[in-house]
Protein backbone atom coordinates (compact mmCIF):
# COMPACT_ATOMS: atom_id res chain seq x y z
CA UNK A 1 0.00 0.00 0.00
CA UNK A 2 1.33 3.40 -0.92
CA UNK A 3 2.14 5.54 2.09
CA UNK A 4 0.47 8.90 2.21
CA UNK A 5 1.50 12.04 3.96
CA UNK A 6 -1.12 14.00 5.84
CA UNK A 7 -0.77 17.54 7.06
CA UNK A 8 -2.17 18.64 10.35
CA UNK A 9 -2.48 22.07 11.89
CA UNK A 10 -0.97 21.90 15.37
CA UNK A 11 -1.81 24.22 18.28
CA UNK A 12 -0.10 27.57 18.62
CA UNK A 13 3.58 27.22 19.58
CA UNK A 14 3.90 23.86 17.77
CA UNK A 15 4.88 24.66 14.21
CA UNK A 16 5.93 21.59 12.24
CA UNK A 17 4.58 19.57 9.32
CA UNK A 18 5.20 15.86 9.78
CA UNK A 19 4.60 12.53 8.09
CA UNK A 20 1.95 10.75 10.13
CA UNK A 21 2.95 7.40 8.73
CA UNK A 22 6.13 7.51 10.85
CA UNK A 23 4.65 8.98 14.00
CA UNK A 24 4.56 12.60 15.04
CA UNK A 25 6.63 15.01 17.03
CA UNK A 26 5.54 18.35 18.37
CA UNK A 27 8.30 20.94 18.06
CA UNK A 28 7.96 23.75 20.55
CA UNK A 29 8.87 27.29 19.71
CA UNK A 30 11.05 29.63 21.77
CA UNK A 31 8.04 31.05 23.61
CA UNK A 32 7.34 27.71 25.29
CA UNK A 33 11.00 26.78 25.90
CA UNK A 34 11.89 25.33 28.34
CA UNK A 35 9.00 23.08 29.26
CA UNK A 36 11.08 20.49 31.15
CA UNK A 37 14.44 20.27 33.02
CA UNK A 38 17.61 21.21 31.11
CA UNK A 39 20.91 19.31 31.53
CA UNK A 40 24.09 21.40 31.72
CA UNK A 41 27.05 19.08 31.18
CA UNK A 42 30.67 20.01 31.87
CA UNK A 43 33.78 17.90 31.57
CA UNK A 44 35.51 18.98 34.77
CA UNK A 45 35.35 17.93 38.41
CA UNK A 46 33.35 19.91 40.99
CA UNK A 47 35.04 22.81 42.75
CA UNK A 48 36.71 24.64 39.89
CA UNK A 49 35.65 27.98 38.44
CA UNK A 50 33.80 26.44 35.48
CA UNK A 51 31.78 24.26 37.84
CA UNK A 52 31.08 27.17 40.21
CA UNK A 53 29.96 29.45 37.38
CA UNK A 54 27.87 26.75 35.72
CA UNK A 55 25.98 26.21 38.97
CA UNK A 56 25.52 29.93 39.60
CA UNK A 57 24.09 30.58 36.14
CA UNK A 58 22.04 27.40 36.21
CA UNK A 59 20.39 28.62 39.38
CA UNK A 60 19.69 32.04 37.84
CA UNK A 61 18.21 30.45 34.72
CA UNK A 62 16.13 28.11 36.87
CA UNK A 63 14.67 31.16 38.59
CA UNK A 64 14.02 33.18 35.44
CA UNK A 65 12.84 30.44 33.06
CA UNK A 66 10.96 28.40 35.69
CA UNK A 67 12.49 25.02 34.84
CA UNK A 68 15.44 23.30 36.56
CA UNK A 69 18.85 23.70 34.90
CA UNK A 70 20.75 20.73 36.34
CA UNK A 71 24.58 20.59 36.25
CA UNK A 72 26.25 17.24 35.56
CA UNK A 73 30.01 16.75 36.01
CA UNK A 74 31.62 14.30 33.57
CA UNK A 75 35.38 14.78 34.13
CA UNK A 76 37.39 12.62 31.76
CA UNK A 77 39.78 12.78 28.81
CA UNK A 78 40.26 16.53 28.73
CA UNK A 79 36.51 17.21 28.79
CA UNK A 80 36.05 15.33 25.51
CA UNK A 81 33.56 12.85 26.99
CA UNK A 82 31.25 15.71 27.95
CA UNK A 83 31.77 17.32 24.55
CA UNK A 84 30.72 14.13 22.77
CA UNK A 85 27.69 13.66 25.01
CA UNK A 86 26.35 17.10 24.16
CA UNK A 87 27.14 16.83 20.44
CA UNK A 88 25.17 13.56 20.23
CA UNK A 89 22.23 14.81 22.27
CA UNK A 90 18.93 15.79 20.69
CA UNK A 91 19.20 19.33 19.28
CA UNK A 92 16.26 20.63 21.27
CA UNK A 93 17.88 22.92 23.84
CA UNK A 94 17.56 20.47 26.72
CA UNK A 95 21.23 19.44 26.76
CA UNK A 96 23.86 22.18 27.01
CA UNK A 97 27.62 22.25 27.44
CA UNK A 98 29.29 24.55 29.99
CA UNK A 99 32.68 25.17 28.42
CA UNK A 100 35.96 26.77 29.33
CA UNK A 101 39.15 27.09 27.21
CA UNK A 102 39.62 23.29 27.41
CA UNK A 103 37.24 23.26 24.46
CA UNK A 104 39.87 25.02 22.35
CA UNK A 105 42.95 23.06 23.41
CA UNK A 106 41.64 19.48 23.39
CA UNK A 107 42.17 19.07 19.61
CA UNK A 108 45.88 19.73 20.19
CA UNK A 109 46.08 16.70 22.48
CA UNK A 110 43.50 14.21 21.19
CA UNK A 111 43.56 12.90 17.62
CA UNK A 112 40.13 11.25 17.69
CA UNK A 113 37.91 13.98 19.03
CA UNK A 114 34.30 12.87 19.62
CA UNK A 115 33.03 16.20 18.32
CA UNK A 116 34.13 19.36 16.55
CA UNK A 117 33.47 22.53 18.54
CA UNK A 118 32.51 24.50 15.42
CA UNK A 119 30.53 21.97 13.39
CA UNK A 120 28.97 19.67 15.99
CA UNK A 121 28.05 22.32 18.55
CA UNK A 122 26.16 25.59 18.39
CA UNK A 123 27.67 28.44 20.44
CA UNK A 124 25.09 30.09 22.70
CA UNK A 125 26.93 32.78 24.65
CA UNK A 126 30.34 33.77 25.94
CA UNK A 127 29.47 34.74 29.50
CA UNK A 128 32.73 35.70 31.19
CA UNK A 129 36.37 36.45 30.42
CA UNK A 130 39.08 36.60 33.08
CA UNK A 131 42.87 36.43 33.43
CA UNK A 132 44.60 33.61 35.22
CA UNK A 133 46.70 34.04 38.33
CA UNK A 134 50.05 32.37 39.01
CA UNK A 135 50.35 31.29 42.64
CA UNK A 136 52.74 29.42 44.92
CA UNK A 137 52.39 27.67 48.24
CA UNK A 138 53.53 29.96 51.10
CA UNK A 139 56.42 27.61 51.83
CA UNK A 140 57.95 28.35 48.43
CA UNK A 141 60.57 31.11 48.86
CA UNK A 142 59.41 33.23 45.90
CA UNK A 143 57.33 36.40 46.03
CA UNK A 144 57.34 37.15 42.31
CA UNK A 145 57.52 35.36 38.98
CA UNK A 146 61.10 36.58 38.65
CA UNK A 147 62.02 34.92 41.95
CA UNK A 148 60.08 31.76 41.05
CA UNK A 149 61.95 31.40 37.77
CA UNK A 150 65.29 31.98 39.53
CA UNK A 151 64.37 29.38 42.17
CA UNK A 152 63.42 26.84 39.50
CA UNK A 153 66.72 27.39 37.71
CA UNK A 154 68.63 26.86 40.94
CA UNK A 155 66.71 23.63 41.58
CA UNK A 156 66.26 22.02 38.14
CA UNK A 157 63.66 19.28 38.21
CA UNK A 158 62.80 19.85 41.88
CA UNK A 159 59.76 22.15 41.66
CA UNK A 160 56.36 21.25 40.25
CA UNK A 161 53.13 22.87 39.07
CA UNK A 162 49.79 21.23 39.75
CA UNK A 163 46.79 21.64 37.51
CA UNK A 164 43.85 20.16 35.69
CA UNK A 165 44.12 16.87 33.74
CA UNK A 166 46.37 16.38 30.74
CA UNK A 167 44.74 17.78 27.65
CA UNK A 168 43.51 20.95 29.32
CA UNK A 169 44.52 24.57 28.94
CA UNK A 170 46.20 24.58 32.36
CA UNK A 171 48.60 21.87 31.24
CA UNK A 172 49.34 23.59 27.94
CA UNK A 173 49.66 27.02 29.58
CA UNK A 174 52.02 25.60 32.22
CA UNK A 175 54.24 23.91 29.62
CA UNK A 176 54.27 27.14 27.62
CA UNK A 177 55.42 29.06 30.69
CA UNK A 178 58.18 26.50 31.38
CA UNK A 179 59.35 26.83 27.78
CA UNK A 180 59.36 30.63 27.67
CA UNK A 181 61.05 30.88 31.09
CA UNK A 182 63.53 28.10 30.16
CA UNK A 183 63.01 26.18 33.39
CA UNK A 184 62.90 22.46 34.20
CA UNK A 185 59.68 22.04 36.20
CA UNK A 186 57.32 19.06 36.38
CA UNK A 187 53.60 19.29 35.66
CA UNK A 188 51.39 17.23 38.00
CA UNK A 189 47.86 16.67 36.61
CA UNK A 190 44.82 16.18 38.84
CA UNK A 191 41.22 15.31 37.95
CA UNK A 192 40.22 18.96 38.01
CA UNK A 193 40.98 22.43 39.29
CA UNK A 194 39.34 21.66 42.63
CA UNK A 195 41.55 18.64 43.43
CA UNK A 196 44.60 20.51 42.15
CA UNK A 197 43.93 23.43 44.50
CA UNK A 198 43.43 21.10 47.46
CA UNK A 199 46.83 19.55 46.74
CA UNK A 200 48.50 22.95 46.37
CA UNK A 201 46.96 24.40 49.52
CA UNK A 202 48.01 21.24 51.35
CA UNK A 203 51.64 21.70 50.30
CA UNK A 204 51.73 18.60 48.10
CA UNK A 205 52.73 20.76 45.11
CA UNK A 206 54.62 24.02 44.75
CA UNK A 207 52.80 26.27 42.30
CA UNK A 208 50.01 26.53 39.75
CA UNK A 209 48.31 28.75 37.20
CA UNK A 210 44.57 29.04 37.71
CA UNK A 211 41.47 31.07 37.08
CA UNK A 212 41.31 34.23 39.22
CA UNK A 213 37.83 33.24 40.40
CA UNK A 214 39.21 29.96 41.80
CA UNK A 215 42.49 31.31 43.19
CA UNK A 216 41.38 34.56 44.78
CA UNK A 217 39.75 33.15 47.96
CA UNK A 218 42.91 31.19 48.78
CA UNK A 219 45.13 34.19 48.12
CA UNK A 220 42.97 36.46 50.26
CA UNK A 221 43.08 33.95 53.13
CA UNK A 222 46.87 33.63 52.92
CA UNK A 223 46.80 29.95 52.04
CA UNK A 224 48.39 30.73 48.66
CA UNK A 225 50.63 33.56 47.48
CA UNK A 226 49.97 35.28 44.14
CA UNK A 227 53.08 36.12 42.12
CA UNK A 228 51.63 37.37 38.83
CA UNK A 229 48.59 37.92 36.62
CA UNK A 230 48.49 36.43 33.11
CA UNK A 231 46.77 39.18 31.13
CA UNK A 232 48.77 41.45 28.83
CA UNK A 233 47.96 44.42 31.07
CA UNK A 234 47.53 44.64 34.81
CA UNK A 235 44.07 43.85 36.10
CA UNK A 236 41.98 46.78 37.35
CA UNK A 237 40.98 44.55 40.26
CA UNK A 238 44.64 43.93 41.19
CA UNK A 239 46.55 47.00 39.96
CA UNK A 240 49.57 46.29 42.15
CA UNK A 241 50.06 42.77 40.82
CA UNK A 242 52.57 42.67 37.92
CA UNK A 243 51.82 40.58 34.86
CA UNK A 244 53.85 37.46 34.17
CA UNK A 245 55.07 39.03 30.93
CA UNK A 246 56.51 42.12 32.63
CA UNK A 247 58.41 39.90 35.09
CA UNK A 248 60.85 38.51 32.57
CA UNK A 249 58.59 36.18 30.54
CA UNK A 250 57.62 38.36 27.54
CA UNK A 251 54.89 37.05 25.27
CA UNK A 252 53.12 35.06 27.95
CA UNK A 253 49.40 35.85 27.94
CA UNK A 254 46.54 33.70 29.11
CA UNK A 255 42.84 34.45 29.37
CA UNK A 256 40.10 32.09 30.47
CA UNK A 257 36.45 32.17 29.52
CA UNK A 258 33.16 30.57 30.49
CA UNK A 259 30.47 29.99 27.88
CA UNK A 260 27.66 27.65 26.93
CA UNK A 261 26.99 25.66 23.76
CA UNK A 262 24.17 23.47 22.47
CA UNK A 263 24.13 20.59 19.96
CA UNK A 264 24.38 21.68 16.34
CA UNK A 265 20.95 21.93 14.81
CA UNK A 266 19.31 23.38 17.90
CA UNK A 267 16.66 25.83 16.65
CA UNK A 268 18.05 29.33 16.29
CA UNK A 269 15.08 30.73 18.20
CA UNK A 270 15.93 28.55 21.21
CA UNK A 271 19.64 29.43 21.04
CA UNK A 272 18.86 33.12 20.78
CA UNK A 273 16.41 32.98 23.68
CA UNK A 274 19.06 31.35 25.87
CA UNK A 275 21.72 33.80 24.69
CA UNK A 276 19.53 36.81 25.43
CA UNK A 277 18.57 35.54 28.88
CA UNK A 278 22.15 34.70 29.77
CA UNK A 279 23.30 38.18 28.69
CA UNK A 280 20.59 39.76 30.80
CA UNK A 281 21.66 37.75 33.85
CA UNK A 282 25.43 38.17 33.56
CA UNK A 283 25.35 41.90 32.81
CA UNK A 284 22.96 42.74 35.65
CA UNK A 285 24.74 45.34 37.84
CA UNK A 286 24.97 43.15 40.94
CA UNK A 287 26.54 40.23 39.04
CA UNK A 288 28.74 42.26 36.70
CA UNK A 289 29.97 44.35 39.63
CA UNK A 290 30.86 41.29 41.68
CA UNK A 291 32.71 39.73 38.75
CA UNK A 292 34.67 42.94 38.17
CA UNK A 293 35.75 43.06 41.80
CA UNK A 294 37.11 39.52 41.34
CA UNK A 295 39.06 40.43 38.22
CA UNK A 296 36.58 39.00 35.69
CA UNK A 297 34.65 40.68 32.88
CA UNK A 298 30.93 40.03 32.33
CA UNK A 299 30.36 39.60 28.60
CA UNK A 300 27.06 37.98 27.62
CA UNK A 301 27.85 37.74 23.89
CA UNK A 302 25.81 36.76 20.87
CA UNK A 303 26.23 33.23 19.47
CA UNK A 304 28.29 34.57 16.54
CA UNK A 305 30.64 36.52 18.81
CA UNK A 306 31.26 33.37 20.84
CA UNK A 307 31.93 31.42 17.64
CA UNK A 308 34.56 33.97 16.62
CA UNK A 309 36.34 33.65 19.96
CA UNK A 310 36.35 29.84 19.77
CA UNK A 311 37.79 29.98 16.25
CA UNK A 312 40.60 32.36 17.28
CA UNK A 313 41.46 30.34 20.40
CA UNK A 314 41.59 27.05 18.45
CA UNK A 315 44.12 28.59 16.08
CA UNK A 316 46.20 30.09 18.86
CA UNK A 317 46.51 26.99 21.03
CA UNK A 318 47.19 24.78 18.06
CA UNK A 319 50.27 26.90 17.32
CA UNK A 320 51.40 26.88 20.97
CA UNK A 321 51.08 23.09 21.06
CA UNK A 322 53.08 22.69 17.87
CA UNK A 323 55.77 25.09 19.12
CA UNK A 324 56.09 22.99 22.27
CA UNK A 325 56.30 19.68 20.43
CA UNK A 326 52.84 18.42 21.43
CA UNK A 327 51.13 16.15 18.93
CA UNK A 328 47.59 14.75 19.12
CA UNK A 329 47.51 11.15 20.33
The CATH number that applies at residue 290 is 3.40.190.150
Q: Final residue of a domain: which of 247, 279, 303?
A: 247
Same domain, 137 and 242: yes
Question: Has residue 328 been placed in a domain?
Answer: no
**Considering the domain boundaries, does residue 15 fall inside one?**
no
| Better-predicted residue by pLDDT, 102 or 64 | 64
**Mean pLDDT for all residues in the chain:** 87
Is 189 domain-assigned?
Answer: yes
Domain region containing 176: 131-247
Residue 137 domain-assigned (yes or no): yes
Q: What pLDDT score was predicted for residue 78?
A: 61
The number of domains in the chain is: 2
The stretch 127-156 carries a mean pLDDT of 96
**pLDDT at site 14:** 43
The answer, yes or no, to whether residue 9 has pLDDT greater than 50, is no
Statement to judge: residues 44 and 121 lie in one domain? yes
Statement to judge: residues 274 and 231 lie in one domain: no
Tell me, yes or no, whether 79 and 166 share the same domain: no
Residues 265-306: pLDDT tens digits? 999 999 999 999 999 999 999 999 988 888 888 999 999 999
Query: For position 19, what pLDDT does the model report?
Result: 35
329 occurs within a structural domain: no
- Write down the pLDDT at residue 278: 96
User: Does 190 share its domain with 153?
Assistant: yes
- Residue 4 scores a pLDDT above 60: no
Within-domain flag for 273: yes
CATH number of the domain at 228, please.
3.40.190.10
Confidence grade of residue 104 (pLDDT, cut at 50, 70, 90): very high
Task: Identify whether residues 126 and 57 lie together within a single domain.
Answer: yes
Q: Give the least confident one: 26-30, 90-94, 135-139.
A: 26-30
Same domain, 263 and 232: no
pLDDT tier at 28 (50, 70, 90 boundaries)? Answer: low
Q: pTM of this prediction?
A: 0.76
Same structural domain, 97 and 183: no
Residues 286, 318: Cα–Cα separation, whole Å: 37
144 and 230 together in one domain = yes
Amino acid sequence: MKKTTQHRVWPAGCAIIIALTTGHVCSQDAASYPSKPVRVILGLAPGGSTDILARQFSQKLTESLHQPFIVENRPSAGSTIALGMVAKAAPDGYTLHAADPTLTVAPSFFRNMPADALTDLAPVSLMIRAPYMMVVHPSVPAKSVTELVALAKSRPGKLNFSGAPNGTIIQLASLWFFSLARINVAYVPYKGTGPSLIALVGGETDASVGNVLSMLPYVQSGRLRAVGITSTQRSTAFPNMPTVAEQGVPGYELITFHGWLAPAGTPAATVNKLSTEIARIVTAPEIAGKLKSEGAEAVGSTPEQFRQLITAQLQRWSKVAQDNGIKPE
